[in-house]
Amino acid sequence: MARAQSGKVPRIGVLLLGNPNPEPFLKAFRAGLNERGYIEGRNIALDIRSADGDMNRLNEAAEEMVRRPVDILVAWQTLPATAARRATQSIPIVMAGVGDPVGSGLVESLARPGGNVTGIAGFGAELAGKNLELIRELMPQARRVGVLLNGPDPFSKPLREQAELAAGKVGVTVHVVVASGANDIEAMIAELVREGVDIVFAQPSLPQQHTVRLAMRHRLPVVAANRGFTEAGGIMSYASKGESMFIECAAYVDRILKGAKPGELPVQGPKASELVVNLHAAKALGITVPQELLARANEVIE
């Protein structure tokens, strides 16, 4: 209210890793703001910064927005949320689609986040197990799965644990490799090829097009817990459904601008999941997708 009376337009910093494509997130987030009466350039300002997949630039962008300062920081995915939390413990942070925010140290608990962070959590590392189950349905002959992790992302630890835990249950073995950055991915995929893996399960925060392109050179299908990988040429994804989650982030921004404390706003989980199959990619690799799996898919990319 004080801000409105003074005529100051609240400035919202939006921090993005730049991978995957942030446009679906930005479109849904803006729609959520509009639903609540916020019009960009009139009664709210968005300061959008993308690191284009570079962790150093991500930290610099977070620190720059804190210096401006912005009134609220919105961070999509775990790495941007972590960078924002390192940069400030006072400016409210609204996270979107973050995996395991408690385990990542962003909040104390989902019900009582404490501190200056709240927002929407994505499905946690349990998605690794579900994707491994779907891999066995997609390729019943697959016995060895390569797990490609993004080392700088703190979500890599619980994701690895869940993948290794699920492997025995679904009847596969996993070979885990950890990329320290985009330049490391080619070497990691080469290692997976030497290990004779049948398919790759990739962490969502890895560069999607780059990862898929390198894997396809070796005719390795890629599965991930993010539909962006499937749109980039991966074969399948089972993940949180993003649009409703992104729209809901605007509700957190609205409540904080009206005086709510982020540490007292419970973290919400995703409300829906989706299975996406890229039939075009499957045909290019000579893989026949079972009809039962196609019938359950929320979307099939032809």
Query: Is residue 234 located within the same domain as residue 279?
Result: yes
Domain span at residue 169 reads 127-239+274-301
Residues 146 and 291 in one domain: yes
Question: What pLDDT, on the 0 to 100 scale, is given for residue 169?
Answer: 92
239, β-bridge pairs:
274
pLDDT tens string 148-169 = 999 988 888 889 999 999 999 9
The 10 Å Cβ neighbour count of residue 27 is: 13
Same domain, 203 and 73: no
The pLDDT value given to residue 20: 66
Regarding whether 104 and 224 lie in a shared domain, the answer is no
Sheet arrangement for strand 299-301: 173-179, 144-150, 199-202, 222-224, 236-240, 273-278, 299-301
Q: Tens of pLDDT along 68-109?
A: 999 999 999 889 999 999 999 999 999 998 888 888 889 999
Whether residue 253 sits in one domain with residue 164: no
How high is the mean pLDDT of the chain? 92
> In this structure, are 108 and 135 located in the same domain?
no
**Are 9 and 108 contained in the same domain?**
yes
Return the CATH number at 172.
3.40.50.2300
Same domain for 88 and 27: yes
Distances (CA, A) of 248 to 1, 20, 83, 92: 22, 20, 22, 16
Per-residue pLDDT of 3-38, as tens digits, reads 444 568 999 999 998 876 788 889 999 999 999 999
| Domains identified in the chain, total number | 2
Q: What is the pLDDT of residue 136?
A: 95
Please check whether residues 117 and 131 belong to one and the same domain: no
User: In angstroms, rounded to a whole number, what is the distance separating the alpha carbons of residues 132 and 110?
Assistant: 27
Question: d(Cα 127, Cα 168) in Å, to the nearest integer?
Answer: 15
Tell me, yes or no, whether 83 and 174 share the same domain: no
Q: 257 and 154, same structural domain?
A: no
The token duo for 239 is: 């993940």
Residues 149 and 259 grouped into a single domain: no
**Four-point Cα dihedral 113, 117, 121, 126, nearest 10:** -70
Q: Residue range 114-143: average pLDDT?
A: 91
